[in-house]
Structure 1
Amino acid sequence: MSDARQTRDPASEAVIAAIADRARNFYETRQMLCTEAVVAALNQGLGGGLTEAQATAVSAPFCIAMGESGCVCGALSGAVMATGLLLGKDGAFLHRQSMRDSARQLHDRFKFANGATCCRVLSRKVKHNKKEHFQQCAGLTAQAAEMAARLVLEKRPELVKQADNAFINRRQSSIGGVLSRLVHLFSR
């Protein structure tokens, strides 16, 4: 686990691990980029209420460090976005301060674990090796999804009972990822 604070609830831990693995699978099969993978895994996995298209629409601009700017890590952006969605779903205006506090916690936990939140800094040592860069980003995607899931379930433990286990435990091969992308492209 990337975070020392564990819920110790086996059901929560299973959901957290499955969400992290699902986000990694989305990324590794090239169905989604970092931000999209984190948002999609948490939204669908914990009942955020967005359609797949809506989740992609709000998260796509943040991929590859905010539109390829190299700034904030896309995985972290996705984690913050999904946490806000899930913590603010039932009364966003009442929970704005809590959502901001959660964003800061995610930022601080991610920075502590990785030494930075800036994509340029995080990828500096691997940017010239496509395979290492890809694997690092897949790992950061899984880690950010795990951190967000843990934070959400710490604050809203009832969501574990509503988790879409069929979705979060589904894995696709690289070929399955290609087929999924093609379906999305041609289903417009």
Structure 2
Amino acid sequence: MIKEANKEEAKIKKIEEVRNIAEGYFIRGEFFCSEAVVKTINDLLGKPFGDDVTKLASGFPIGIGKSGCVCGAVSGGVMALGMSYGRCHGEAMHEEMFTHSADLHNHIKGMYKSTCCRVMVKDYAFQSPERKAHCVKITGEVAAFIAEKLIDNNKIEL
């Protein structure tokens, strides 16, 4: 019983660490939302992809190239899930990819009532520190959600 409590404690600690790392990249201006999530999860997984994988997420911030559509953090999160649940040419699709992507979508939509960037930030002036803080929080939430999925599915060890 104590062992399970320690494992749960370690899980909570790891999830918060992942949240803080992703948020830190955004706060410091090193990466935007989608890039921060992809970089953080790639590192969490032990870098199954080189650092250049973050470049693949560079077109998603501010709702796909500043269009205000799908939240960049959510887009980056789906990309990050693909690191563990995606497939290569000729492989069968892993059902977990769909399940976990939908779970991420539904989790963020449940928290913020949308996954559309322009809707999620409509109450903030674009250049305001409040909008940035809001987006940083979403970025951290996405990274934390994915970390929890990966831990629960034994994709990473504590």
TM class by smaller structure: 0.7 to 0.9
Match of 1:111 in 2: 109
Equivalent pair of 1:48/1:85 in contact (CA under 8 Å): no
- With the length of structure 2 as denominator, give the TM-score of the two structures: 0.87
In structure 2, the partner of 1:45 is 44
For residues 74-128 of structure 1, the C-alpha deviation after alignment (integer angstroms, 9 at most, x for no partner) is 1111111101212337999345321011110110011001111000000000135
CA contact (8 A) 1:62 1:77 kept: yes
Q: Does 1:24 align with 2:26?
A: no
TM-score (norm 1): 0.74
Q: How does 1:7-18 map to 2 (within 5 A)?
A: 9-18=8-17
Q: Does 2:100 align with 1:102?
A: yes
Amino acid at match of 2:133: Q
Q: Which runs of 5+ in 1 are unaligned?
A: 1-7, 162-188
1:73 aligned residue (68, 71, 74):
71
Distance 2:156 2:107 in 1: 22
Superposed counterparts of 1:31-180, under 5 Å = 31-53=30-52, 55-88=53-86, 93-128=91-126, 130-155=128-153, 157-161=154-158
Q: Provide the identity percentage.
A: 28
Q: Structure 2: which amino acid aligns with 1:142?
A: G
Number of positions where the alignment pairs a residue of Structure 1 with one of Structure 2? 152
- Of Structure 1 and Structure 2, the greater helix share is in 1
Structure 1 outlier segments of 4+, above 4 Å: 89-92
